[in-house]
Amino acid sequence: MKKSWWKILTIVLLAYTITAGLLLDVPRLPILNETIRALHFHVTMWFGMILMLVVSVIYSIKFLRTNDLKNDDVAIEFTNAAILFGVLGIVTGMLWAKFTWGDYWSGDPKQNASAIGLLMYFAYLILRNSLTDVHQRARIGAVYNIFAFAAFIPLIFVLPRLTDSLHPGNGGNPGFNAYDLDSKLRMVFYPAIIAWTLMGTWMATVRVRLRRIERKVEDRLINQVS
């Protein structure tokens, strides 16, 4: 029970995020109207994605220092979970863009930067899968992961702010917190970040355990054959 408290918290927060995010009263702002609810999914999923990528980079660095494949297991699975939430974040953002900007994809700098960032991580997965040697795959993957994260952060947070953007908080447009003075959105926004992050962590840890079990089975089979 002590070890699973955070899983119970995850379920509770997810239920609250989905229910309150869809049903709780929101500010009636011009143009945005009900579409502002996308904030609880689109933005918070990307916050969760960033946090999971941070964990992934930390364990890539740990692998390079220790050469322990257990660290690589954590790095790749947290990246996988982060990519999933990144894709979901883009999809929910596209739905929001359709109703507020008139099109699913308008070529907005932040949209383009986000897509490029995800493509970098898809390339990371392709690179890993193209290598057959386990340790070589882990080493090259760890180095790529570190540099990809170093490029990803300025790509989505810095570069879009240097040009005009339709996104709130960019290109001279005020962020949500600048005009949402009644804090109704914050009642769901912060719990949602925790919920999606915990959900991604749950998924990643399950995959890590499966990966380690598969490696033990493979090693056992190799020892039996030899």
Residue-range domain boundaries for the chain: 41-225
- DSSP track, 159-179: GGGGS--SSTTSTTPPPHHHH
Note the pLDDT tens digit of each residue in 159-180. 777 776 656 555 444 454 544 4
| Burial (CB count within 10 angstroms: exposed 0-12, middle 13-18, buried 19+), residue 125 | middle
pLDDT at 179: 44
pTM above 0.75, yes or no: yes
Task: State yes or no: pLDDT of 30 exceeds 80.
Answer: no
- Where residue 10 falls among pLDDT bands split at 50, 70, 90? very high
Note the pLDDT tens digit of each residue in 97-145. 887 777 888 778 888 888 999 999 999 999 999 998 999 999 999 999 9
